[in-house]
Amino acid sequence: MPDVTSVWVAVPNGLTAGAATERRLRLSVAVSLRLGSDLAPGDDDPPPVPLETFADASGWAKTVAGLSFAVELPDGTTLPSNAVTVVSRPDPDLWTALFDDAAPVRPHRLDPVVKRTVFNTYSARGVGDQVTAA
């Protein structure tokens, strides 16, 4: 079964210009799509399939064009929608020109070793506090 997962990562992008009391944080968002499939175990080299197999990815730019965005801070506070300004949106015509429905896609298959691996992550705030205190 085709599976589409989108990963949205907020990346700090400085401050807006203006008086200190009117400055706002800027974020850029990096989005990546992971196209997967329930491949048979041991199928290490799956054959390519057309992009249209992944309906959500095929029309992705149209799908997200109508989305609204909110920002949730680490303390759980969600910024009101009027505090979020979307500067640009994906262009459906450009998406279609770059990623034709017939474009061959080799589905992502997670390496079995990665499935068993534990990843440690660290709070950016905690690391920053440690660096500042040092």
* 3 state SS of 25: strand
Q: How much is the pLDDT for 112?
A: 64
- Measure the CA–CA gap between 8 and 70, rounded to whole angstroms: 12
pTM to 2 decimal places: 0.60
Structural domain range at position 107: 3-133
pLDDT band (50, 70, 90) for residue 34: confident
Overall number of domains in the chain = 1
* 3 state SS of 117: coil
Half-sphere exposure of 118 (CA within 13 A, CB side): 1
pLDDT reading at 100 higher than 80: yes
CB 34 within 8 A of CB 7: yes
pLDDT reading at 86 higher than 60: yes
